[in-house]
Amino acid sequence: MSNNDDARALLGPLAGEPVGAQRLDLTEIIRAGDRRRRTRTWGTTALAVVAVAAVGAGTAVSVRNTAHPSGVPMSSPSFPSPGAPSPGASAPAPSRSPAPVGAECRSAFLPGPTTMVYAVDHTGRYVLEEQKSSGGKVKAVVWRSGAKVSEVTLPTFTDASYALNGKGEFVVTITSASGRTTPYVYADGSLTALKGGNGVAVAITDNGRIAGSQQPGSAVVWQRPDAEPTKLALPDGYYAGGADGMDESGTVIGYLQGGGSTKAALWLPDGSVRELPAPAGRDERSLTGIANGWAVGSDTVPGQGFVTGFRYNVVTGKSEELPAQFGAPQVAGGEGSMIGLYDDAKTYVYVNGVARPLGRAPVDGLLGVLGISDDGRTVTGSIYIFTQKGDRNSGRAVTWTCD
């Protein structure tokens, strides 16, 4: 099943639920689902749990923006207990306990941008918006605390994905009409193509280190915006790899391909690679975010499609199973905080052992959560407002405060 097929299957039920008098147009969300895993289209089929977008410090988690009923569902898939039958088509889905639920995080429109934002930095201060110029070109506009700090006209594209750092610099991967992907970096007031040609850029640190992937199947880093790309090592037995994110230490998360399977992996700042195999009784392990030495991701149950979330401490090398609300954690924050989607269509922030639901946004649409600040108190995202024309930028930027 392709990413588009996954997105359609997951979001298809929404197509029959009108917003006002309009019919929902899922084009943008399906396109968004492709961005997060663009590097994997070079040879890997990714598990699409939700429609997601590669947007800097975090990931868009597409869910309905509905009022949240009280309470938390009582069960969600988890690891089998000792003595349980081997996971398979007939194995039952075990239960996990949910985390204690705290107060809702308060929502408000984000000051500055008038449409959606496509990236937020790890501090939660900088956001990036697309604006159309009078000549039909698209500009990338960076805001901080409601004030515009930079804008630059982009090359013509059919799709674009971004990542911001804590200085307002960003990388953008431009997809042309022919399908060619070219990574650019905006730094020191100018937009330039990264060296190395065709590829993608997925993250940029405050000191200008950039992570991404290049054909044919190589995870790479650019040590500086003007540097040549350096291929990251592949362990014996693997023929390809790709990068999905990077934290401020320079630790890169991604995947390895070989032997008919795909394995989660991370590359440390010294260039060494660490495999993260799925635990016993689980199938593919996927990493979806990293911040301050904490990586988050999901494991799947063979033959069932159930997903269990985990977080991984890079320093200790230990994985920790997540509470029920975080079967598919998508955004990592500082100190092990994260954002996850639960099967009741709620989106939660996990901070200090407590799951806090995001409160209803001030406008109806699909919620796309982009990032969580290092302190876990600020969540930034966009509400996609569907139109019959499928306008890419139809929506509003929203912030949630979790104090």
pLDDT digits 0-9 by tens, 324-357 = 888 778 788 888 888 886 655 678 999 989 999 9
More confident site: 373 or 37: 373
- Give the mean pLDDT of 158-167: 96
Question: Does residue 399 have a pLDDT over 60?
Answer: yes
Classify 11 as helix, strand or coil. Answer: helix
More confident site: 23 or 316: 316
Other C-beta atoms closer than 10 Å to the C-beta of 33 total: 27
Q: Which two tokens stand for residue 11?
A: 């979001």
- Give the mean pLDDT of 44-59: 28
Residue 240's pLDDT is 97
State the burial class of residue 100 (Cβ atoms within 10 Å of its Cβ: 0-12, 13-18, 19+). exposed
- Give the mean pLDDT of 73-96: 34
Q: Are 246 and 226 in contact (CB under 8 A)?
A: no
More confident site: 172 or 66: 172
Residue written as token pair 């994985």: 319
Domains defined for the chain, CATH in brackets: 3-70+93-401 (2.130.10.150)
Beta-bridge partner residues of 33: none
Question: Does residue 201 have a pLDDT over 80?
Answer: yes
Question: Does residue 400 have a pLDDT over 70?
Answer: yes
Q: Which of 58-72, 222-236, 313-327 has the lowest mean pLDDT?
A: 58-72
Phi, psi for residue 35 in degrees, rounded to 5: -65, -45
Question: Does residue 69 have a pLDDT over 70?
Answer: no
CA distance 381 to 370: 5
Residue 342's pLDDT is 66
Beta-bridge partner residues of 175: 159, 181
Count the residues in the chain: 403
Q: What angle do CA 253, 95, 282 make, to 5 degrees?
A: 40
CA distance 101 to 349: 10
CA distance 72 to 203: 34
C-alpha 391 chain-centroid distance: 21
State the burial class of residue 188 (Cβ atoms within 10 Å of its Cβ: 0-12, 13-18, 19+). exposed
Residue 172's pLDDT is 98
Query: Which of 206, 241, 200, 193 has the alpha carbon at shortest distance from 43?
Result: 241
More confident site: 398 or 17: 398
CA distance 256 to 237: 10
Residue 395's pLDDT is 87
CA distance 116 to 130: 8
Based on DSSP, count helices (H) and strands (E) in the chain, helices before strands: 2, 31
Residue written as token pair 């988890």: 78
Q: What sign has the CA pseudo-torsion 295, 301, 306, 308? A: negative
Residue 159's pLDDT is 92
Q: Which two tokens stand for residue 99?
A: 């985390």
> In this structure, which amino acid lies at residue 81?
S
Residue 369's pLDDT is 74
CA distance 191 to 185: 6
